[in-house]
């Protein structure tokens, strides 16, 4: 099986994401697929012997969307082109909207009611054909596949408004006049719906770019070129051309292009992006260097060992991408709602029309049409669809910038529940001293054998202040375990434990009703890490520990543990806020758009024009609210 993050284009709302996800999951050879509307990505687990990304792309195109599978095709370039096109259409739509509103409100004199209506007809038709054509194209594709999304609602509402207005322009005086009903056109509503929706999407796209800033920042750490050594000469070459075994020279101010081992020279390198430690590290012959780190002083040469997607930086980027593309448990519930949302709204719109005509008779036909259109426009699955993923993207991105790598959305949601933490001693809580003479180990004082990590006591105290019980475990003798537990301010500790004992402690705490986090760095910790509710590995630990762990702390600063817990609480709190307001928006606004106030004697309702403005605002507000996480 292979797991791949693929960019998705053409999605307009949460319903689109749900449709793409359902279509991918129906394909033979796809084990699982998770589509993130906010990130515009699909995380696909598939069997390459049965299905390829190209085959997936062909199926998704049939559904009206697209996948970016060509590595030479820049997703960023595609998004920029699409964004520029969106801005151009939005600006044009606003020009048409202002002209239409000017004529409708009587600010621009055209010369009679019929002449004004005919000019507005031309303007509205131009707006539909040029600015809003995408809504109709996608809505038609959705209809052909028996599905619907936000574009369906926009296309139907604008088409009904336009068609009703065209009828009134040419036959309204005769048809309504005979029945004693005022004749009005609603070209302005048709135009403003498209204008506000395009404006909302433009602002939404701008805001969503900020939610993905962590990924762009990580990608920006890698240089575009490298200084390749060939004999006595060096040459600037694209980083993509580097191969294992190449000798590369780096000088002061350079970013290390790939992972490798120093072969000549020495230099101080800033590795804070990996370790979180601000002090540059001296690298000499035989030492490892990593892509994205920065040479602060002097120069050296090294042999490339991991290039392209195999570098540590590339693996970190992949982990963050997959985490941002994953779904929290609450999101799966929202996705199910999104799938039935648009059909439900269509039903409510029809019901609104029928009730107005049934209760008010033929005289209420114009109001019945406008009310049905308002319901179509104001209902917004986008806010629901954006509520969870935007908050997760910001939260996971913020964690990455603070040297906390979170494997998936479930982990981020679970960390906040932790009320008991089990932490390994050697290598996790303490650092073994290297200049030791093991023949004299028995005579050494405990503090000479190892050192408590900087800020370890501060981190343990912060956890305990949050009501989290901390348990230190160690395979060391009783005297050493007791000494270092007290040094770290830990009240509960166990000594001379084996890997099975660590797992047993985790399970016994779980049996008592605790939500347990395990922190470790070695092979002997993997059993306990796998058993824990939340597993946390140290970035300088073994590969197997980091593979098992849901969270990896880059560097040695244990204060990142309480930071991760606080970030989890903030992120989940933000998700709850977003979902609350998204649900409340629809619960309150749909009845107001349907004309409910008339039942209580209030002669007003939300018109199609204002419905489109409110719909756009709901999506933007959810994204902007999520971005507040960056300020915390």
Tokens of 72: 């030479």
CA angle 378, 155, 345 (to 5 degrees): 40
Burial of 177 (0-12, 13-18, 19+ CB in 10 A): exposed
How many CA within 13 A on the CB side of residue 408?
Answer: 14
> Do the beta carbons of residue 202 and residue 87 sit within 8 Å?
yes
| Cα dist from 363 to 180, 269, 368, 369, 544, whole Å | 8, 79, 9, 12, 74
Query: How many other C-beta atoms lie within 10 A of the C-beta of residue 459?
Result: 23
Q: Look up tokens 């602002």; give the residue.
A: 203
Alpha-helix runs per DSSP H in 145-290? 150-177, 187-211, 213-219, 272-275
Clarify whether 66 is annotated catalytic. Answer: no
Q: Which residues of 512-537 are buried (b: 16+ CB within 10 A; e: fewer)?
A: eebbbbbbbbbebbbbbbebbbbbbb
- Find the catalytic residue in 151, 246, 408, 424: 424
Give a three-class secondary structure readout of 3-59. Answer: EEEEEEECCCCHHHHHHHHHHHHHCCCEEEEEEECCCCEEEEEECCCCCCHHHHHHH
For residue 406, which of 210, 223, 416 has the smallest C-alpha distance?
416
Q: With H, G, I as helix, E, B as strand and everything else as coil, classify residue 559.
A: coil
φ/ψ of residue 263, rounded to 5:
-110, -25
Strand pairing partners for 283?
A: 267
How far is 247 from 265, CA to CA, in rounded Å? 13
Which residues are within 8 A (CB) of 193 and not within 5 positions of it... i.e. 6 or more apart?
A: 154, 157, 158, 161, 377, 608, 609, 611, 612
Interhelix angle 608-627/381-401, nearest 10 degrees: 20
**Active-site residues: which are they?**
424
């Amino acid at each position: 099986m292979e797991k791949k993050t693929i960019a998705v284009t053409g999605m307009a709302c949460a319903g689109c994401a749900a449709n793409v996800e359902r279509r991918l999951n129906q394909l033979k050879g796809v084990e699982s697929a998770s589509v993130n509307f906010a990130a515009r990505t699909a995380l696909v687990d598939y069997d390459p012997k049965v299905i390829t990304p190209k085959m997936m792309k062909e199926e998704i195109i049939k559904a009206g969307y697209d996948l970016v599978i060509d590595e030479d095709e820049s997703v960023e370039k595609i998004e920029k082109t699409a964004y520029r096109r969106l801005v151009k259409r939005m600006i044009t739509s606003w020009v048409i909207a202002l002209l239409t509103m000017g004529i409708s409100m009587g600010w621009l004199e055209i010369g009679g009611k019929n002449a004004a209506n005919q000019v507005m007809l031309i303007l509205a038709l131009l707006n539909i054909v040029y600015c809003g054509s995408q809504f109709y194209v996608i809505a038609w594709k959705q209809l052909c596949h028996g599905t619907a999304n936000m574009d369906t609602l926009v296309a139907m509402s604008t088409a009904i408004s336009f068609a009703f207005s065209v009828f009134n322009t040419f036959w309204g005086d005769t048809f309504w006049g005979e029945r004693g009903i005022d004749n009005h056109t609603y070209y302005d509503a048709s135009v403003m719906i498209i204008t506000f929706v395009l404006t909302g999407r433009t602002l939404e796209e701008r805001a969503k770019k900020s939610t993905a800033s962590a990924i762009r920042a990580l990608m920006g750490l890698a240089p575009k070129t490298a200084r390749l050594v060939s004999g006595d000469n060096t040459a600037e070459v694209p980083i993509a051309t580097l191969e294992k075994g190449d000798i590369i020279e780096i000088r002061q101010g350079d970013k290390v292009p790939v992972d490798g081992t120093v072969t000549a020279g020495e230099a101080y390198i800033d590795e804070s992006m990996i370790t979180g430690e601000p002090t540059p590290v001296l690298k000499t012959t035989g030492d490892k260097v990593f892509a994205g780190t920065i040479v602060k002083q002097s120069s050296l040469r090294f042999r490339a060992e991991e290039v392209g997607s195999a570098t540590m930086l590339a693996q970190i980027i992949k982990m963050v991408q997959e985490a941002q593309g994953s779904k929290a448990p609450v999101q799966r519930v929202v996705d199910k709602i999104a799938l039935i949302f648009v059909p439900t709204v269509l039903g409510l719109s029809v019901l609104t029309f029928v009730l107005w005509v049934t209760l008010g008779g033929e005289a209420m036909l114009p109001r019945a049409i406008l009310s049905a259109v308002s319901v179509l426009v104001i209902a917004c699955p986008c806010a629901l669809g954006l509520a969870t993923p935007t908050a997760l993207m910001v939260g996971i991105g913020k964690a990455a910038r603070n040297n906390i790598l979170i494997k998936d959305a479930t982990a981020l949601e679970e960390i906040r529940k932790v009320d008991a933490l089990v932490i390994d001693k050697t290598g996790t809580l303490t650092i073994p001293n290297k200049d030791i003479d093991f023949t004299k180990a028995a005579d050494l004082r405990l503090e000479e054998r190892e050192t408590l990590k900087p800020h370890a006591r501060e981190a343990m105290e912060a956890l305990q202040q949050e009501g989290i019980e901390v348990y230190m475990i160690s395979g060391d003798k009783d005297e050493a375990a007791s000494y270092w537990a007290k040094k770290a301010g830990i009240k509960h500790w166990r000594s001379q434990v084996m890997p099975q004992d660590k797992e047993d402690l985790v399970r016994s705490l779980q049996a008592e009703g605790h939500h347990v986090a395990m922190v470790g760095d070695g092979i002997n910790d993997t059993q306990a890490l796998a058993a824990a509710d939340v597993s946390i590995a140290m970035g300088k630990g073994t590969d197997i520990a980091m593979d098992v762990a849901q969270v990896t702390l880059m560097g040695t600063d244990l204060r990142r543990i309480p930071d991760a817990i606080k970030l989890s609480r903030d992120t989940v709190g933000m998700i709850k806020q977003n979902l609350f307001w998204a649900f409340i928006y629809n619960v309150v606004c749909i009845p107001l758009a349907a004309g409910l106030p008339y039942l209580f004697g209030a002669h007003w309702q939300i018109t199609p024009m204002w419905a489109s403005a409110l719909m756009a605002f709901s999506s933007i507000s959810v994204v902007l609210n999520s971005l507040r996480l960056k300020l915390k």
